[in-house]
Amino acid sequence: MQSLICSNRHCFDIAKHGYLNLLSRGNLTKYDKQVFDHRRLIGKGGLFNPLHVAVSQIIMNHHSSNDLISILDAGCGEGSHLNNIRLEISQNKNIATLAVGIDISKEGIRMAASEYSDAIWCVADIANCPFANRQFKFILNILSPANYSEFQRLISDHGLVIKVVPNRDYLMELREIFYSGSDKQVYSNFLTTSHFNEQIKLVDVQNIRYQVNLGESLIEPLLGMTPLSWGASNERIEKVLQMNLKQVTMDFKILIGKK
C-alpha cells in the first residue's frame, strides 16, 4: 500500500520511510534535526526509563480487559517515548497495542518511522488531528503542548489523558547555571497544571523524581535537547561542558484525567 484515501477523496502518500504526512501545507517549527538527534541519544541513554515505566504502569492498571490498547502520543517528537512505553507494555501484558504518534515536525516523524516500525507515525497538527471521534483509549502528552478540545474529541468514553509536565527540580543542575540570579532559576508548573484541571477531569496525580548518571557522551545531547539551554549564552553552555556533570535530576508530574 503506497497511499491512503479519506472519505472526502483526499489522497495521502506513504513516505518511503513509512510515515504519513497529513498536513495540507508545511509548518515551521523550532525543533530541527539536531534537536531530535539529541533527544534520540538521550532516550537511548535511559534518562527517561523510569518515567516510561511509570506511564506504562498507569496504562496497564487502567486497562483490565483483553481488548486492543489504543494509544495516541500527541506531540511525539522522534518517537522514543511512545516506543519505550509500548515495549514496556508488550513485555508485561500479552495484549495487542495500537500505537500512533503524531507531531507537526516532519523531521521528527521521519526519524521515528525510520527507527521504530511497530507504530503508526503521522505528520499532523494536534490542534486539528486527522482521526475520527473516540478512537483512543489513552492519549499521551509528554513534555509537549496540548490541545484539550481535540483530546476530548479523540478519547474514548472511558479513556484517559496522561500528561507529563516537568516538576520543580527537573534538570535543576542546568537551571541553576543557566538562570542563576534570575526569576527563571525556580520553575513552576502551576499554570500548566491549572489549565489541565480546567479542561480535563483530574482523576489522579503521580510525582516521579530520580537522579541519573551522565556519561560524558550524554552531556552535549542533554544540552542540545532541552529548551533550558536554547537562550543561554555560549559562555554558560561552555561552563556546563567543562563541569563534566556526573548526575542530573529528573522530576516529573504525571496528570491523569478523563472526560
- The domain locations on the chain are 18-258
Say if CB 250 and CB 170 are below 8 A apart: yes
- Residue labelled with grid coordinates 516529573: 252
CATH of domain 18-258: 3.40.50.150
pLDDT tens track, the chain, 259 positions: 455 555 554 545 565 557 899 886 666 566 788 999 999 999 999 999 999 999 999 999 999 888 999 999 999 999 999 999 999 999 998 899 999 999 999 999 999 999 999 999 999 999 999 999 999 999 999 999 999 999 999 999 999 999 999 999 999 999 988 888 777 778 999 999 999 999 999 999 999 999 999 988 999 999 999 988 887 788 888 888 888 789 999 999 999 999 9
Question: How far does Cα 183 stand from its chain's mean position?
Answer: 26
Measured over all CA atoms, what is the biggest interatomic distance in the chain, rounded to whole angstroms? 57
pLDDT at residue 9, rounded to an integer: 47
pLDDT at residue 235, rounded to an integer: 86
Q: pTM for the full model?
A: 0.92
